[in-house]
Amino acid sequence: MLKARIREGLSEQELELEIQEIAALGRRELLLARTEIEMAKIDVAVEEQQRTKEEAELNKRSQIDRYKRPCDLPTGFKGFPQCKLGTRKLEGASTAIIVPGC
């Protein structure tokens, strides 16, 4: 394309403007590419955050489902009959916590 413009007899000034236009176009494309990359990074971060939130909710539900009787649930769960309190070490817990005991 530039060769054709040179053949048309463009002056040095016109050629310089043509070169600047090409460079500006390249910068715009580069800026657009960078913007797309940044948007993709944000999308990935949001998806990861959503996945983490969903996993936490799933883990919470599976922990509740693991306990067979209401008295086996850790304290803090509402709506269950209160039994006498005792201490018990739960699976995966590093320390014993107070849980309702039957």
Separation between Cα atoms, residue 51 and residue 43, nearest integer Å: 12
pLDDT score for 55 = 92
Stretches in the chain below the pLDDT threshold 70: 1-7, 65-102
The pTM for the full model equals 0.45
pLDDT reported for residue 50: 95
pLDDT at 46: 92
Question: In sequence order, which ranges of the chain are alpha helices (DSSP H)?
Answer: 2-7, 12-66
Question: Tokens representing 95?
Answer: 């320390």
Q: Which pLDDT score, from 0 to 100, does residue 47 have?
A: 92
Domain spans of the chain? 1-66, 70-102
- How far apart are alpha carbons 79 and 102 in whole angstroms? 16
